Chain A
Amino acid sequence: MGTFIQLVIDGLSTGSIYAALALAIVLVNQATGLINFAQGGMAVLSAYIAWALNGFGVPILPAILAAIVASFLLGAIIERYLIRRFEQGDPDTAVVVTIGLLTLITGFCAWVWTYNNRLFPSLFPLETIKVAGAVISVRSLGTIIVIVVTMLLLQALFLGTKLGLALRAVAINPASAAFSGINVGRSLMTGWGLAAVLGAVAGVLVAPQLTLTPGMMDSALVYALAACILGGLSSPIGVVVAAWLIGVLENLAAVYIPFIGHDLKIAVPFILIFVVLIVRPQGLFGRKAVVRV
């Protein structure tokens, strides 16, 4: 039983990382209708910025906050000067643009900071607490709490503020939003900026665990994409639940199903996707997209 609880908590913790990245992807998808493959790369860059600032003697928490601000600006700039040109065109081209961006950012990180693993200071003490026979690390709990708080803040922003209302309006119908006086371009920049912030949070949370490398978020990105499809791209809550589900199930499957083991556990979310999508093509919580002919 102790192992089980431990696996579930650890699964929720890694699931939270996927959830943050997945939320960023959903945010971008809702705003601009494309999947940003560079989201993980941008998150890694944010983590590197925090790491570099920390290296210059800035304490870790202010360094992370500075990196988050930088990420917001970076996301907004990328939307304005790179993605804007491809938003109205062929969606495949736009996806490849984000792939190019991923290559560029990863290459940039590798060039500046090399491929060597960098130790990233943890935000949380490396202690464990014993609950019901399970050894739970404070880091796992901290990660979960940070993500939940971030999610609640985001939800409050979207539902409770004028800015959030504008962002939602632009996502639903850019043309009507523009007619009612909303600056669509600036809203899209804000959306990308917020997504980059979410990515940055995921990056600094995962960096102490995996150590910082340019390809750190590659597999997290795959899991996040899986969570997006599983939860349904139109439902932020669904995506988070799906991300947690993936994190927990893959941990459990790796230990309790001998055939899967640790090397094949990456197959778990996809088997799940396959089964779910056959039954519900719009995802667990998604709304069915109705296409007007």
Chain B
Amino acid sequence: MPSTAESTSRTPVLARPWVRWAGIGLVIVLLVVGPLLLPEFANQTIARIGVFAVAVLGLNVVMGYTGQVSLGQIFFVGVGAYATAWGVDNDWNVVLVFALACVVPAVIGLLVALAAARLGGLAIAMVTIALPIVGVPLAKRLSDLTGGSQGTSARFTDAPEWTGLYDDQWQLYIVILIAGITFLLTRNLVRGKYGRAFAIVKGNEAVAGSMGISPYRYKVLAFTIASLIGGVSGFLYMVVIQYTSPETLHFGHSIELLASMVIGGAGSILGSLLGGAWYVLLPQITNLIDPNITAMLQGAILLIVLFILPGGLVSLPRLWRRRRGSLSTPVPDQTTPTHDAVIIHTERQDQ
């Protein structure tokens, strides 16, 4: 097939192994050195991007990869944050606190999923939308655990003396480490056996069933993993922001997470990172432009981006390459295989 050969010859540099390893090495060096060089504000912003990138990643597992609309992701982030605060308040070891922040949301997620995964489509969206909506008044009510409307704070991530680091640098390192591991594990999950099962459940439940893959079981699994990752994000939230209140799990944030996921790119690891960046940076940028019209600008920018890139920011290189491809190859019949090959290439770059 000439078109395939053509497309491989078009993107050989990025596909070569040594280039990829060099790229990975460069990213690692940047992540290690960056926090030391950047100003405090940049470090804090990057740390917050890490926090919400993990939250978007969790949402992507259940929605982007498994196709189940979840409007409750922020609830699990909030539960993780509250669990962290509670553990720190009771002087638990930090490793135990982290485990608590993962296990509590995962168990709640499992229980919700056992019921919700029986429902299809929009019903699951409504059951999950209930979590943050009921969660806010509930968090206010359970003031013994949560500190009520005042919220609760936990300072446990001041940089230790021996490191000689500033607090923001230390926090950013924690975020990079935990978020990096979470991203790596999730990437392996969705590329492997489970990821393929998720994809079939998303694509066609009847086919999944006929292949011996129980849609119900995999939906529950995806939802539980998403909740667990939400809990990780909640832990990181406390690492960086050190304070949580019922406002943290406001339903509006859940909607924003959903929008960020689609803007970044549904069903994409890199897209989750871009989604996290979008979640944190968009309000800051619109605030810089004109604080009076932030909401309007945010809505307008979101619509413009989706108008140009319905596949999210992650599809930008694909669009660009297709533009260039359509200029250099005038034969329209060959666009379909080229297009497929290009998709494979972009997916490889995600890794």
Interface residues of B in 36-52 (CB under 8 A from A): none
B309 to chain A, nearest CB (A): 10
Number of A interface residues in the complex (CB < 8 A): 44
Whether A100 lies near B259 (C-beta < 8 A) is yes
Assuming the A-B contacts A99-B259, A293-B206, are A273 and B303 also in contact, with contact meaning beta carbons closer than 8 angstroms in the complex? no
A226 near B126 with CB under 8 A, answer yes
Complex contact A107–B138 (CB within 8 A)? no
* Inter-chain contacts of B129 with A (CB < 8 A): 222, 225
Q: Closest chain B residue to A260 by CB distance?
A: B137
A82 to B74, CA, bound (A): 28
Binds B, one of A5-13, A67-75, A85-93, A185-193: A85-93
Report how far A277 CA is from B141 CA in the complex, Å: 27
Number of interface residues of B (CB under 8 A): 43
Return chain A residues, CB-CB under 8 Å to B118: 277-278, 281
Q: Does A106 contact B126, Cβ atoms closer than 8 Å?
A: no
Q: A85-B307, A90-B310, A107-B293 are in contact. Are A35 and B302 (CB under 8 A)?
A: no
Contacting residues, chain A, for B300 (C-beta < 8 A): 100, 104
Which residues of B sit under 8 angstroms from A37, Cβ to Cβ?
A: 255
B202 → chain A closest CB, angstroms: 11
Asked if A96 contacts B251 (CB within 8 A), the reply is no
Instruction: State whether A270 touches B130 (Cβ < 8 A).
Output: yes
A103-B115 contact in complex given A263-B140, A264-B141, C-beta closer than 8 Å: no
Residues of A within 8 A of B303 (CB): 82, 97, 100-101, 104
Q: Which of A92, A93, A97, A229 contacts B123 (CB 8 A)?
A: A229
B26 within 8 A of A: no
Chain B, 258-311, CB within 8 A of any chain A CB: 258-259, 262-263, 266, 292-300, 302-303, 306-307, 310
Contact status A108-B140, CB under 8 Å: no
Shortest Cβ distance from A104 into chain B, in angstroms? 3
Q: Which residues of B contact A99 (CB under 8 A)?
A: 255, 258-259, 302
Closest to A112 in B: B296
Whether B122 pairs with A233 at a CB distance below 8 angstroms is yes
Q: Contacts A92-B262, A100-B259, A281-B118; is A264 near B134 (CB within 8 Å)?
A: yes
B130-153 interface with A by 8 A CB criterion: 130, 133-134, 137-138, 140-141
A274 proximal to B (CB < 8 A): yes
Give B258's nearest chain A residue, CB to CB: A96
Chain A residues contacting B258 (CB-CB under 8 Å) are 95-96, 99
Measured CB to CB, the closest approach of chain B to A76, in angstroms, equals: 18
- In contact, B295 and A96 (Cβ under 8 angstroms): no
The answer to whether A100 and B127 have CB atoms under 8 Å apart is no
State the CA gap A289–B120 with chains docked (Å).
Answer: 10
Verify A107–B299 contact, CB threshold 8 A: yes
In the complex, are the beta carbons of A229 and B126 less than 8 A apart? Answer: yes
Find out whether the CB atom of A96 lies under 8 angstroms from the CB atom of B141.
no
A86 nearest in chain B by CB position: B310
**Interface presence of A111 (CB below 8 A):** yes
CB pair B123 A96 closer than 8 Å: no
Query: Which residues on the B side are within 8 Å of A229 (C-beta)?
Result: 122-123, 126
Question: With A92-B63, A93-B262, A273-B130 in contact, do A266 and B137 touch (Cβ < 8 Å)?
Answer: yes
Q: Are A274 and B115 in contact (CB under 8 A)?
A: yes
When A and B form their complex, what is the total count of cross-chain residue pairs whose Cβ atoms lie within 8 Å? 125
Nearest to A270 among chain B residues (CB) is: B130
Write out, one digit per residue, whether chain A residues 221-262 have a CB within 8 A of any chain B CB (1) or not (0): 010011011000100000000000000000000000000000
B139 to chain A, nearest CB (A): 11
B119: CB under 8 A from chain A? yes
Contact of A111 among B63, B255, B292, B302 (CB under 8 A): B292
Shortest Cβ distance from A185 into chain B, in angstroms?
Answer: 18
Q: Which residues of A contact B266 (CB under 8 A)?
A: 90, 92-93
List the A side residues contacting B307 at CB < 8 Å. Answer: 85
The yes or no answer to A119 lying at the interface (CB within 8 A) is no
B69 within 8 A of A: yes
Chain B CB within 8 A of A105 CB: yes
A42 to chain B, nearest CB (A): 13
Residue interface bits A10-41, CB-to-B below 8 A is 1, else 0: 00000000000000000000000001010000
Some 21 contacts from A to B, beta carbons below 8 A apart, are A35-B125, A93-B310, A96-B258, A100-B299, A100-B302, A104-B295, A104-B296, A104-B300, A104-B303, A105-B299, A108-B296, A110-B296, A229-B126, A263-B140, A264-B134, A264-B141, A266-B134, A267-B133, A277-B127, A281-B123, A283-B123
**A-B contacts besides A110-B295, A229-B123, 19 pairs, CB < 8 Å:** A35-B125, A86-B310, A93-B262, A93-B306, A95-B69, A99-B255, A99-B302, A100-B303, A101-B299, A104-B302, A107-B297, A108-B296, A225-B126, A266-B134, A267-B130, A274-B115, A274-B127, A277-B127, A281-B119
Residues of A with Cβ closer than 8 Å to B?
35, 37, 82, 85-86, 89-90, 92-93, 95-97, 99-108, 110-111, 222, 225-226, 228-229, 233, 263-264, 266-267, 270, 273-274, 277-278, 281, 283, 289, 291, 293
Q: Give 7 closest A-B pairs by Cβ, nearest first.
A: A104-B299, A107-B295, A107-B296, A103-B299, A270-B130, A100-B302, A96-B262
